[in-house]
Structure 1
Amino acid sequence: MPTGVALREVRKLLFDAAERVLLRDGPSGLTSRAVTTEAGCAKGVLHRHFPDFDAFLAEFVLDRAQRMDEQAAALRHAAGTGTVAGNLTDALTALFRSVAVAIVPLVTYRDELRARLRTAWPAGVPVLTEACTMIASYLAAERDLGRIAPEADVEALAPMLIGTAHLMFADRTGTPPEAEAVRAMVDSIIGGVLRDTQG
């Protein structure tokens, strides 16, 4: 039986390989053989540590969703600095240029993966629901600082920003949108609630 440290190392190796395959080849290219080949290890390594491939994928998706805690903390820390629209543009661009945008079609593509995720993640799609929480928390902080209107409904604005950004970045094979386009989208959604107190 491997030690906890060894297991963490194997998980990291396999999860990082899965991310590279998913970003490069999309959900249809993400197979256990593709992951182990990318990781440079025998196929049996994955099956020694996970009951089956969907169990591996469920843990991979949840691991990537949990990694958003660091992004969320950085965005909350940015409250009161720069501009609200600039901070949101940077956060959304970083989010959707990461593996996040590729996880959504993966979850949609695999019925068994969705079923397994429901036990740990009862509502929404991992990553997107975390992203909405991250954006809503940031907007609430800016509202508390007076940089957006006190009546601003951050719980409604956050999914509007995430959903629209997801549509902009959804074409994995195309050219990602320029920062100016993302900023224009952000301005159109939050422009009505911004206050003149920004630096």
Structure 2
Amino acid sequence: MPTGVALRDAREQLFDAAERVLLSDGPNALTSRAVTTEAGCAKGVLHRHFADFDAFLAELVRDRIARLDGQAAALRDAAGTGTVAGNVTAALTELFGTVAVAIVGLVTSRDELRARLRATTPAGIPLLTEATAMFASYLTAERDLGRIAADADIDALAPTLTGSGHLLFADRKAAPPRAEAVLQVVAAVIAGVTGRS
């Protein structure tokens, strides 16, 4: 194992390596050794930057949750443009077409990690909870614009969209769902609150 090799932005390189391990081998294969081997660095590099492996994993999840802020802003900005179903379909595909499904699997498989994330996400499953808030914010903006019925139950629609999207993308072994399949589910969920938007 190489030692003494300078890493630029070691945190990001370690996070990226962890994602590659997650995507290729799943949450059970994610160990500090697997991450540092994938990153091409000595195991001590991880422990220089993080108190322990669960602290590393918690920061990885928090970092990926923080990335949702940009996606949430873009989705809110899309309110009033295109179609509601099209915008939600694109957001679900962007969200779950990445490492998010593997991150959710990681969080649900590690009790210590979930406990550490409770400070950031006190209820629900980290990443899915924040994704639900993203969809709620967008749907509220669309409701304010009159593209969704004024009596639409955003508190029911947002988690339904998040959960449905997660289920569509959850099989890591199969090819991702086609855009038409995602759109069909989204359209079914929002059919009662919007016409053809």
- Report the TM-score, using the length of structure 1 for normalisation: 0.92
Match of 2:40? Answer: 40
Match of 1:185? Answer: 185
Query: Per-residue displacement from partner, 1:69-109 (whole Å, max 9, x unpaired)?
Result: 00001100110111000000100011111111111110111
| 1:23-172 alignment, distance < 5 Å | 23-172=23-172
Distance 1:188 1:137 in 2: 20
Q: CA deviation at 1:23?
A: 1.3
Identity %: 71
Secondary structure of the 1:126 match is coil
Q: CA deviation at 1:195?
A: 4.2
Query: Which segment drifts farther, 110-119 or 139-148?
Result: 110-119
Determine if contact 2:21/2:29 at 8 Å carries over to the other structure. Answer: yes
Determine if contact 1:146/1:195 at 8 Å carries over to the other structure. Answer: no
Determine if contact 2:121/2:129 at 8 Å carries over to the other structure. Answer: no
Distance 1:35 1:167 in 2: 27
The amino acid across from 1:20 in the alignment is: R
Do the aligned partners of residues 60 and 7 (structure 1) sit closer, same or farther apart at CA in structure 2, a change above 3 Å counting? farther
Determine if contact 2:108/2:125 at 8 Å carries over to the other structure. Answer: no
Determine if contact 2:22/2:102 at 8 Å carries over to the other structure. Answer: yes
Query: Per-residue displacement from partner, 1:147-197 (whole Å, max 9, x unpaired)?
Result: 11111111110000111111111111112111111001011010111146x
Q: CA deviation at 1:8?
A: 8.5
* Runs of 4+ residues over 3 Å off in structure 1: none
Query: Per-residue displacement from partner, 1:108-148 (whole Å, max 9, x unpaired)?
Result: 11121112112332111111011000001000000111111
Equivalent residues, number: 192
RMSD: 1.6
Match of 2:15? Answer: 15
Structure 1, unmatched stretches of 5+, are: 1-5
The amino acid across from 1:82 in the alignment is: G
Which one has the bigger helix percentage? Answer: 1
Distance 2:33 2:45 in 1: 11
Determine if contact 2:76/2:141 at 8 Å carries over to the other structure. Answer: yes
Distance 1:8 1:137 in 2: 36
